[in-house]
Amino acid sequence: MRLSTYFLPTLKETPNDAQIVSHRLMLRSGMIAQECAGIYHWLPLGLRVLQKVEEIVRQSMNEAGFLEVLMPTLQPAELWEESGRYDAYGKEMLRITDRHDRRLLYGPTAEEAITDIVRRFMKSYKDLPRVLYQIQWKFRDEIRPRFGVMRGREFLMKDAYSFDLDAESARETYRRVMHTYMVTFKRLGLKAIPVRADTGPIGGDLSHEFHVFASTGESDIYYDKAFDALDLKGDENDLNQLMNLYAMADTMHDPKNCPVPQEQLNHTKGIEIGHIFYSGTKYSDSMKATVMGEMGKQIPLESGCYGIGVSRLVGALIEAHHDDYGIIWPESVAPFKIGLINLKKGDSLSDETCEKIYHTLLSQGKEVLYDDRDESIGVKFSTMDLIGIPTQIIVGPRGLKDGNVEIKNRRTGEKILCTLDNLYQRI
């Protein structure tokens, strides 16, 4: 992509109303623009990151054998009356009336909608177990939206729902989802931890939140140091450790009665990016979702529900990966892997060399952002650092005299000289 024909409205000034670093950096780097309170446009650079995050989440779900569906953003009120949550959900639910005075709502979550699908189409024990998921926009009418995409009103969520024949199988599914989540966060370049949580209005008796380690996080987490050694090969042992190791938010952590000795305990700041629940038969009871069992009896479905805040993850990634100059994207979610900087646009050797590098990298399938603008060197350097491109190739007349270009590592700041011949091997 050539920056001269791209749409990257970076801001020089830090916006006044942005209180946290991810919000400031997303606005400054032209990733998002506010439409109205808690509702954001995703501009080209931001959307590329959102799509990469979404695709990593999707691939991880698919590899685990979960099946993707897509439910509408709007849902009929009747479904929520069946489960008893229509009145209970309160003002966070955006309620809508259509031209025929039918009551709709913008889905804040989809337990009712998926349970309705399952009770209509899954009739036999042979149809189970299944985990269905979607990646879809949700709306929660937060009374005070803030922190950009971290607590917006319209947000992208991956929500999965499991259906099993009995509690034991449902708990096994819950463990499998937990493991899939840990794999997902690792692929995203995030260090995350499952923390015991209240089940709240979703119901059920087992629940974990997932928190990303970030020094700017809102929550305080105390956890067993053994977590730091986990590398998640995906075996039974990993799962058992994930379920059993101690990890608590400060609201639930009691130093006096903690089963883990002080010296075995670590502390971190965290950002919640996922929440899973074993909800049992809460929805299948109220909505009469049953299948015919092997012995000819109707069996209510055992279910769980599992969320990841996909748009929120973009903010969390920045909270976990930035410095004073801007964002530092992990490779897996970088909007472009390589930034190409032409220090002297108009200098024919610089222009030709950049063109050649640009086309060679594109032909290798690399994602390159080429800064071919007629701007100062300072602006070009600070733009590339601000938007966090992991690897930068810097091309100018002085280096080219000796056949050299520079390669800069955004994370370490390290620059190395490199001949043009060696460039493609080094990258």
Which range of residues in 86-94, 196-204, 314-322, 408-416 is near its own copies by CB under 8 A? Answer: 86-94
The span from the CA of 213 to the CA of 217, in Å, is 7
Which range of residues in 73-81, 183-191, 229-237, 407-415 is near its own copies by CB under 8 A? Answer: 73-81
Question: Which of 17, 19, 69, 168 is in the footprint of its own copies by CB under 8 A?
Answer: 69
The span from the CA of 159 to the CA of 136, in Å, is 8
Which phi and psi angles does 362 have, rounded to 5°?
-60, -40
Is residue 130 at the binding interface for its own copies, with CB under 8 A as the rule? yes
Is residue 94 at the binding interface for its own copies, with CB under 8 A as the rule? yes
For 179, 208, 214, 328, 351, the CA distances from 243, given in Å and listed in that order, are 10, 9, 22, 32, 56
Q: In the complex with its own copies, which residue's Cβ is closer, 77 or 427? A: 77
Is residue 67 at the binding interface for its own copies, with CB under 8 A as the rule? yes
Site for its own copies in 142-171 (CB under 8 A): 143, 154
First to last CA, the chain: 18
Question: Which of 16, 87, 120, 324 is in the footprint of its own copies by CB under 8 A?
Answer: 120
CB 19 to its own copies: min, Å: 20
Q: Take residue 205 and report the two structure tokens written for it.
A: 């008796």
How many residues bind its own copies (CB under 8 A)? The answer is 51
Q: In the complex with its own copies, which residue's Cβ is closer, 117 or 230? A: 117
Residues contacting 87, CB < 8 A, separation 6+: none
Is residue 71 at the binding interface for its own copies, with CB under 8 A as the rule? yes
Cα dihedral across residues 229, 234, 237, 242: positive or negative: positive
249 and 80 Cβ atoms separated by less than 8 Å: no
Residues contacting 378, CB < 8 A, separation 6+: none
Coil, strand or helix: which one is 238? Answer: helix
Question: Which of 21, 47, 64, 265 is in the footprint of its own copies by CB under 8 A?
Answer: 47
Q: In the complex with its own copies, which residue's Cβ is closer, 339 or 399? A: 339
The span from the CA of 170 to the CA of 249, in Å, is 25
Is residue 36 at the binding interface for its own copies, with CB under 8 A as the rule? yes
Residues at the contact surface with its own copies, assessed by CB under 8 A:
5-7, 9, 30, 33, 35-37, 39-44, 47, 50, 65, 67-76, 91-92, 94, 96, 98-99, 102, 104, 106, 113, 116-117, 120-122, 127, 130, 132, 137, 139, 141, 143, 154
